[in-house]
Amino acid sequence: MASTPGLRALDVLGIAVTLHPYSYDANADRIGMAAAEALGLDPKLTLKCLMVEVDGKPACCVIPSDGQLSMKRVAAAFGGKAAAMMPPAKAEKLTGYHVGGISPFGQKRQVPTAFEAGACAAPKVWINAGARGLLLGIMPADALRATSGKAAALLA
């Protein structure tokens, strides 16, 4: 199984995860939803990692695959006035991951991270492990600890 910066970062922290490979479809309209379907997982617990800019500063939002960000809520979660999606090329350069495989763990540069609060109540969630076609299962409390993240209302 491929080792990614995200998996190595979690290993250093002693955080146990389960690995869930699947057949990645680069042409899927909604990659997170395609991953949930391929693995038979609940889309509300299969989280996607979205890179944003809040008042021009990078941040990471982790939300359910079937959800959509509220930029107003994102800005508020990070104490800013305005938020926007980060352009894909910039997200890839900042994180060291390719779009479709961006993980909140082991990014080249750690940025403030927020997880959708509703998903943090689940016993386990699935998040990209840092490679297209590979999710990891993790307890939300461990995901928050690994990213120094916080739970916030992020959905539209």
pLDDT value at 14 more than 80: yes
List the CATH number of the domain containing 16: 3.90.960.10
Total domains, the chain: 1
pTM of the predicted protein model: 0.96
The structure tokens 């916080």 sit at 150
Q: Is the dihedral of CA 121, 105, 18, 30 positive or negative?
A: positive
Q: Which pLDDT band, with edges at 50, 70 and 90, does 27 fall under?
A: confident
Cα 48-52-56 angle, rounded to 5 deg: 170
| 36-91 pLDDT, tens digit each | 999 999 999 999 999 999 999 999 999 999 999 999 999 999 999 999 999 999 99
| 135-150 pLDDT, tens digit each | 999 999 999 999 999 9
Residue bearing the bigger pLDDT, 26 or 80: 80
Least confident of 27-36, 113-122, 127-136: 27-36
User: How far is 91 from 18, CA to CA, in rounded Å?
Assistant: 26
Identify the pLDDT of residue 29.
86
pLDDT value at 9 more than 60: yes
Token pair listed for 148:
């120094």
User: How far is 28 from 18, CA to CA, in rounded Å?
Assistant: 24
Domain that holds residue 67: 5-152
Residue 147 DSSP SS3: helix
User: How far is 86 from 83, CA to CA, in rounded Å?
Assistant: 9
* Residue 133 CA neighbour count, 13 Å, CB half: 9
pLDDT value at 1 more than 60: no
pLDDT value at 109 more than 90: yes
Helix runs in the chain, H state only: 5-12, 31-39, 71-77, 88-95, 140-147
Residue bearing the bigger pLDDT, 27 or 128: 128
Q: Which residues contact 27 (CB under 8 A, 6 or more apart)?
A: none
Residue 128 DSSP SS3: strand
Identify the pLDDT of residue 2.
63
